[in-house]
Amino acid sequence: MLGWTTPRVVALCAAVAAVVSVATTLVVLRVTADDAVALPAVGVPTGVTSTVAVAGGARLDLPALFGQVSDGVVRIETTACVLGGAGTGFLVAPDLVVTAAHVVEGAHAILLRRDDGTEAEARVVGLDSVHDVALVRSSERLDGHVFRFAPAEPAVGSDVAALGYPLDGPLVPVRRTVTGTGQSLDVSGPAASAGPDQVVRDLIRVDGGFEGGDSGGPLLAADGSVVGFVEGRSLADKNTGYAVSALQAAPLVARWRTLRTTVDVADVCDAPVGPPQSRVVVRDESGPGPGAVVADFYGTYASAINSGRYAEAWGLLTTNARSGQTLEQWSAAERSSQIFDVAVRQVSVVAPGADPTTAAASPSAPAPAAGSPTRTPGGTTSPATPAAPVVTPGEGGALRAVVDFSSTQEDRLGPGGQTCSRWRVTYTLLRADGQWRIDRTLLAAGYPQPC
């Protein structure tokens, strides 16, 4: 593979938003093998629902509970040797996230994302495949609700709330009813990671299934305490779900959270890829001007790279940016790249092109309402002056944009052995055939920097 220190490669890789490959991980979003009939220690028939109050007399108020704790739940994305994936996790400290082991098992790169655009890299602190429990440490402090584990199993018949990111969508709360505790689930199959007998024990069973992406999401009692977290759904009955018990997870997490070291859980392969629907949110911080155009373009471009849709990203480069490489050569260098925390800092119009589009005001700096008075430095008022129109270049036009972003990569491939790098790149974008494309890049002095 081409070295990151080669000037031409640095320029090209900056153009494609990653300098080196990121090896990755295996993420299983649901129980993927046939599961056996649950072996109940305590339980009621699957599918039985109830509105019985939990111990203490509290009833589950799902909307209120969601509003109180939702900012403590994160989406977890990884790259993988076969295919990357996504799951859910929850804060037990500002920099510690609990999830199911199968969400991060095999991971080289782990990204934490929230619906508000917050993003951070993470590393595995502890992982127990037998009980399907993992703890990861965020590279940055995440402000939000910090969860605590419940001291006892939920009562059979009690309502619980499950929070997760199903099917690449936003964070969703669902109500479930506990139908059994002390369950055993056979997860035998090629994706199993439950130990020699491939049976996960002491699970909580609920009367509803879960979707891909829900794995690792918290299962909450009415008081907001964590009674468990999502393991998966039964393939024998799609209306039955299972969760890892907090009683099994709590001692493991308590032991791991004091550790300052991390665990290498990476699988070994040459061509890891990210989740099939990894979405990159780009912040436009450029002020008045066509920054929203750049943010939209770059979000599409980076999402294609993160998701392994390399032909799509390749189509967003001009012949000049491709530097004589073939799609296969370029894809090999980008195979495991994961891009996050992207912000457009500055944008200028290089050439307006033919038939430019004119907007009344920049999305990042709305004009005052027509006729609204404005205050002069002397304190008097005068009729408002309409905001200058924002010109978005048309066909043949060009923009120059300064973009900051982070990328993850294997330490053996990263600049200076970095596993997470911060970039500042100036892009020249050209518009032709109704499409923006990257034409030139310039890496800022002093970059890349460690995250």
Domain boundary among 208, 226, 256: 256
Cβ–Cβ < 8 Å for 334, 23: no
Residues 206 and 327 in one domain: no
List of residues 6+ apart from 53 with CB closer than 8 A: 59, 158, 222
Residue 199 within a domain: yes
Residues 232 and 363 in one domain: no
- 132 a catalytic residue: yes
Residue 144 within a domain: yes
What's the whole-number average pLDDT of the chain?
76
- 131 a catalytic residue: no
Domain boundary among 204, 229, 256: 256
Residues 76 and 166 in one domain: yes
User: Is the Cα dihedral 151, 153, 158, 159 positive or negative?
Assistant: positive
276-290 pLDDT, tens digit each: 666 788 999 999 889
3-state class (DSSP) for residue 8: helix
Supply the pLDDT for residue 49.
Answer: 34
Residues 170 and 296 in one domain: no
Average pLDDT of span 382-406: 77
Q: How many domains does the chain have?
A: 2
Residue 266 within a domain: no
Cα separation, 72 vs 136, in Å, equals 14
DSSP 258: T
pLDDT at 108 over 60: yes
230-257 pLDDT, tens digit each: 998 877 777 899 999 999 999 999 999 9
Residue 419 within a domain: yes
pLDDT at 36 over 90: no
Cα separation, 412 vs 110, in Å, equals 17
Residue 373: φ, ψ to 5°: -75, 150
Residues 381 and 285 in one domain: yes
Domain boundary among 256, 282, 315: 256
127-139 pLDDT, tens digit each: 998 899 999 999 8
pLDDT at 399 over 60: yes
DSSP for 393-409? P-BT-EEEEEEEEEEE-
Q: Which of 261, 250, 332, 263 is nearest to 110 (CA)?
A: 263
Q: Which two tokens stand for residue 428?
A: 């020249």
Domain that holds residue 159: 42-256
Cα separation, 272 vs 83, in Å, equals 7
Cα separation, 398 vs 421, in Å, equals 28
Work out the pLDDT band at 66, boundaries 50, 70, 90: very high
Residues 71 and 197 in one domain: yes
Q: Which two tokens stand for residue 394?
A: 């048309």
Cα separation, 221 vs 86, in Å, equals 25
Among residues of the chain, what percentage have pLDDT more than 90? 43
Which of the following is catalytic: 21, 35, 131, 132? 132
Residues 366 and 295 in one domain: yes
Here the CATH number for the domain that contains residue 441 is 3.10.450
Residues 220 and 178 in one domain: yes
Residues 302 and 395 in one domain: yes
Residue 233 within a domain: yes
Residue 332 within a domain: yes
Region label for 130, one of left (φ > 0), alpha (ψ between -120 and 50) or beta (otherwise): alpha
Residues 326 and 250 in one domain: no
Q: Which helix (H) or strand (E) holds 285?
A: none
Q: Which two tokens stand for residue 321?
A: 């940016």
pLDDT at 439 over 90: yes
Supply the pLDDT for residue 28.
Answer: 28
Higher pLDDT, 79 or 349: 349
Which of the following is catalytic: 21, 184, 215, 336? 215
Q: Flag the least confident range among 179-193, 356-370, 435-449.
A: 356-370
Cα separation, 276 vs 168, in Å, equals 9
- 102 a catalytic residue: yes
Which of the following is catalytic: 21, 102, 138, 362? 102
**Amino acid residing at 61:** D
Cβ–Cβ < 8 Å for 131, 35: no
Residues 187 and 314 in one domain: no
Residues 202 and 325 in one domain: no
List of residues 6+ apart from 396 with CB closer than 8 A: 351, 353, 354, 430, 431, 432
Residue 32 within a domain: no
Residues in the chain, total: 451
Q: Give the distance from CA 388 to its chain's centroid.
A: 37
Cα separation, 175 vs 153, in Å, equals 17
**Amino acid residing at 117:** G
Cis peptide before 275 (omega within 30 of 0): no
Average pLDDT of span 177-198: 66
3-state class (DSSP) for residue 348: strand
3-state class (DSSP) for residue 219: strand
DSSP for 84-143? -EEEEEEEEETTEEEE-HHHHTB-S-EEEE-TTS-EEEEEEEEEETTTTEEEEEESS---
User: Is the Cα dihedral 422, 165, 195, 201 positive or negative?
Assistant: positive
Note the pTM of the prediction, 2 decimals.
0.63
Among residues of the chain, what percentage have pLDDT more than 70? 71
Here the CATH number for the domain that contains residue 125 is 2.40.10.120
Residue 31 within a domain: no
Work out the pLDDT band at 32, boundaries 50, 70, 90: very low
